[in-house]
Structure 1
């Protein structure tokens, strides 16, 4: 992005601020219009939160993550929540980097846990942070190739409580 901005004589720092503002605004409006909604299997999160301590780490902007959790009534289910800061440094620290995962683990006072996600960077971040990875192979990920093997693979969050050995440690 720096090269493209330089090629068009655009101030990169100003561009980045505008980009981040536009991204947040667009996603907030998509949520309000019902174009961006949680997956149906997120209903299991309430059950999981009753039995386990949950944290959330996203590569999306922190403000967007908080907006989504609030708008869809999920905010009280997580003990700690991290999205990236709307800076270049925050972007660089996203998964598969472990910066935000490690912050969440510190908040939760643990070095053990299970990381559940639906992308290769989730599996890589889990492994790099010393966590078991559970990969959700959602319908849009059927042909998706993972560079590393997760400890478990499921097709829906609803299956998470049924995984032997994980149900008691989620």
Structure 2
């Protein structure tokens, strides 16, 4: 029996396990969130600021411009995004990548680490029958405080590794923040290239690049 190099596998969710939702759809959800918070005509830049890759300072600055509580605005945003992603999943527009079935062959403990909301990740996994592939999910709670812990911070990666009782997991992501988070945690990293990031230039170097989850499995 050969010895396994890594004692765990950690995977990002959106863009690695399941397809991304269109930016246009997410932006519409963010616009609706402003309306829910009592803001009828937000600027396009402010809508963009709370659509994806949101930072707490930006959220607070936007809320301050409209005189609303940042926690209230964020709660509205999180609810609208959750509703949207549930709808997109049920409609078959947010689906697993074809190579996800290769995870059936993984022999080490496996977990999901995501900047998305935990309730969304868990819903998507259940809806597509993927929960059996993973032993833990570490993602955000729908609170403003959670923005301080999201990747590129290593908090969720370290928590997932602890859940799986592994000290040397391999982490697979599709963004530069994934690679930074993995390196901060001291883990080897795989930058997985999909259609949405096929030509993306990285300012930081992952341990390796791969074009499919099948290729990732060859590293374990």
Question: Taking structure 1 as the reference length, what is the TM-score of the superposition?
Answer: 0.91
Q: Does 1:74 align with 2:130?
A: yes
- Show the counterpart of 2:193: 137
Question: Any runs of at least 4 consecutive aligned residues in structure 1 with deviations exceeding 3 A, and if so which?
Answer: none
> How many Å separate the matches in 2 of 1:153 and 1:12?
38
Could you tell me which runs of 5 or more consecutive residues in structure 1 were left unpaired when the two chains were aligned: none
Whether 1:122 aligns to 2:122 is no
Deviations 1:47-71 (Å, cap 9, x if unpaired)?
Answer: 22xx121011001000000001100
Report if aligned partners of 1:85, 1:91 keep a CA contact under 8 Å in 2: no
Other structure's SS at 1:81 match: strand
Q: Output the CA distance in 1 between the equivalents of 2:172 and 2:151.
A: 13
Question: Relative CO higher for 1 or 2, CA cutoff 8 Å, sep ≥ 6?
Answer: 2
Whole-Å Cα distance in 2 between the matches of residues 2 and 66 of structure 1? 28
Contact 2:71 2:143 in 1 (8 A): no
Counterpart Cα distance in 2 of 1:64 and 1:89 = 18
- The number of equivalent residue pairs is 162
Cα distance in 1 between the residues matched to 2:60 and 2:147:
14
Tell me the alpha carbon deviations over residues 92-111 of structure 1, each in whole angstroms, 9 at most, x when there is no partner: 21111011111111111122
The answer to whether the 8 Å contact 2:190/2:206 transfers is: yes
Q: Unaligned 5+ residue runs, structure 2?
A: 1-58
Task: Give the structure 2 partner of residue 57 of structure 1.
Answer: 113
